[in-house]
Amino acid sequence: MEQTGKQNSFRLRRDPLRVFKESKTPAGLYARKKWLGESGSSKWQNHFDQTVRFLLGGQSEDGSWGGSALETIHRLFDLHLTVRDRTEEIDRALGWLLRRTLRENLSRMNDKPLSSRTLRALPFTEGSPRIFYLCAALFLATVFQHESGDEAFKGYRLLHRWVDEHSTGEADSADQSNALRALIVHPDYAENRETVTLIEHLARIQEPSGRWPAPVPFFQTINALGHSRLPLAHRQWMKTLDVLSETQNDDGSWGRQDAEWNTFLVVHALKNKGCL
C-alpha cells in the first residue's frame, strides 16, 4: 500500500516532454506520435518520412547495412521506434543478423569496439561482444515478432544456459543487464526462472539511493524494470522515483549527455507504470 501511494503521489517538477518537440530522431518521433499526439500533422509526417528514408537507405542485398552487425542493430532498433511493423527489408535484416550472431565467430567481426558512443541510443550497455550481439539480436527478433523462429529459439536457449552459468558475480553486471533486456520483452520468458535470477541480482546490488553500481546502466535498467510485472522488479523500480525527481534537469530531461535518449527511457517507463 505504501508503494502504491508513493507511485500515485509521484510528481515531476518539470515537463519531461519538451525535449522531444521538433525532434527528428527515432526516439523523438516516437514520443511526438505516442505522447504529444503529433502523428496527424504534416510536419510530423514529413520528419517521419525523412528519417525512415535514411534508415532504410544503403541496405545491402544480404539484408545488412554494410556487413556490420552493429550498424544493422542500430538501424533495426530505430525502425522499431518508427516503422514498428515488419517489412520485407526488416525481415531480411533480421535473418542476416540472427545467422551472423549464432553461426559465426564474433571475435572476428570487424565492427567498431563496443562503447557508450557506439551504443548510443540503444537499450544496451557495454559488455562482452558475444553477449551483447546475442542479446541485441534476440531483442530485435522478439519486438519484430520473430521470437518463435528456429534461430531465435536456439538463441534464447543459449542465453538461458549463459544466465544459469553466470547467475552470481558483479563482474558480469553489464552482460546480465543486456540479458535482462532480451528476456523481458519475450512473452514466454518475461517471468521465467532466468529472468527472475537477473532481477534478483539487481536487487542484491541496488544501493539505498535507488541507483545501481557501474557498469549497470541506470536509465536502461529502470526502463526494463518498468516493463516487468514481477513484484521484485516493481519494488526496485519504486526506489528510483526519488532519484528521478531529484535529478531532473531544468529543461525536464535527465542526464548530462544523451538527454533526449535518457528522457525517452524514463518517460517510457513512467508511462507504462501509469505515473505520467
> Where is pLDDT greater, at 130 or 7?
130
CB atoms within 10 A of CB 214: 11
Q: Could you tell me if residue 196 is inside a domain? A: yes
Whole-angstrom CA distances from 177 to 32, 138, 214 are: 28, 14, 11
Whether 211 maps to a domain, the answer reads yes
pLDDT digits (tens, 9 = 90+) for 88-137: 999 999 999 999 988 765 555 557 889 999 999 999 999 999 899 999 99
| 267 within a domain of the structure (yes/no) | yes
Q: Does some domain include residue 220?
A: yes
Residue 140's contacts (CB-CB under 8 Å, 6 or more residues apart) are: 73, 76, 77, 80, 94, 97
Instruction: Examine residue 221 and state whether it is found in any structural domain, yes or no.
Output: yes
pLDDT band at 7 (very low <50, low <70, confident <90, very high): low
Separation CA 214–CA 212 (nearest Å): 7
Instruction: Say if CB 14 and CB 250 are below 8 A apart.
Output: yes
Q: Which three cell numbers stand for residue 49?
A: 518520412
Residue 60 lies in a domain: yes
Number of folded domains in the chain? Answer: 1
On whether residue 209 sits in a domain, the answer given is: yes
Task: Evaluate if residue 2 carries a pLDDT over 50.
Answer: no
Q: What is the dihedral of CA 79, 85, 88, 91, to 10 degrees?
A: 70
Q: Which domain holds residue 224?
A: 15-272
Q: How far apart are CA 32 and CA 20, in angstroms?
A: 7
**Structural domain contains residue 83:** yes
Across the range 186-200, mean pLDDT stands at 95
pLDDT digits (tens, 9 = 90+) for 53-85: 999 999 999 999 999 999 999 999 999 999 999
Mean pLDDT for the stretch of residues 194-218: 94
pLDDT at residue 112, as a whole number: 81
Average pLDDT, the chain: 92
The CATH code of the domain that includes 169 is: 1.50.10.20
pLDDT band at 172; cut points 50, 70, 90:
confident
The mean pLDDT value for 143-165 works out to 92
